[in-house]
A and B are shown apart, each in its own frame.
Chain A
């Protein structure tokens, strides 16, 4: 049966909660579940394991971290990704560092879920792509699924992982539908997917940029431009080998991300390609990102700010000289 992104999340949560009685869900409005991801969990698992929190991100994110240290497996929802800013100490100073600082004593099996990205007129404080803010904090794993099937498999792996993992769900992918493999569908963290094989250029696309890049690749295929689309799926750990192998084959690289141009995931991956695949490159590694501005509210401004299909196409054309 075709499954949406949101249903995929719901299935993953339900299956993992069934599997491990020490998992539980907490966050704002998870009982009623406005976006639908946690809908019905209260009926299956009851109020001990499905908990509405006060609007108190620093407090409840930190409480989830403490609960993980004390032997449970929290799944903590932070509604919009920008609200992580309210809880940075607990994520970056506490969850990320305590295992290392305790010489490996602490186990931190905690999964954070949040909605990121521009979804049309939500303005700067509800549209940001914030995973780059965590890229330079060692100790946290970052997952950015681009389709329902990966969403489910990655979220299940994230929940079983013994480290803090943040799963970023793009707000505009919610309605996408596809068949999901039956059974205990797991996608390992750290394994990129070749979403489309091609010869002329490697495009590393992240999250919501994957379906957009695939549409551009379809279009360019009609002009015999063969685009290979790699979806890293997790930014930490990063499947460098898959990206580098593709670039060695195509000799050209474009990185597409909805984050910003400076200091973003695209900058990070472009630097890795530039450093490790330099000898294979026929041209500069190009980045297609959102402009370095807060996401504006008005639709024409929002459109101008964001990475989009026209910009992706232009960058690919520049890379292949077509």
Chain B
């Protein structure tokens, strides 16, 4: 079966982000990129499913700036067979991204039997691409998946809903599955895998190659600014006997008038 995995390259969680000069995105020149952590679960699930369904191939698709292909190479080194990169600005909106992924899958000439994604990207936290992609491809979708069993396209999927309850779904055909933390434990890219990755196919398309254009823009980004700095905290001395009552009164007063939380 043909398994597709959508992966996004996101700034390392320890990166200090700053807005770019025209405020349309963040400054990307000195960012350390990582694979979106939720996508790691998707890649791992694809690898597990491939191991259980012989003859399967896994293709990863990434939409983003071409200069850094690290994340695709990491997926190849983990054991994925092929990679597709759609060269696009890193701040593409969710609709364009979903359309680009659909275009890339179609251009590969393969019909997708299973599409795995992360449930959200940790940079913009939009949580939209899996559902938009499913809609565009006219496939069912299921998100926040924490359990995955079955063979081929006959799957039993468990998804987390609010309050810790679990919904169980059965599928019997191609679908989009958006993975959550806890689904599996993603493997390391092994060193033999890294050395073999360079021999695996990596196709690069432009947005126009796959039919995404200006008419598809749904979101215009502007005014990226850093959140205001938190003012310094206040410290109250109340070590001496008899001071406490007065200090407590003062603190409660300030919580009312200044912090306005009481």
Asked whether A and B interact, the reply is no
B residues near A, CB below 8 A? none
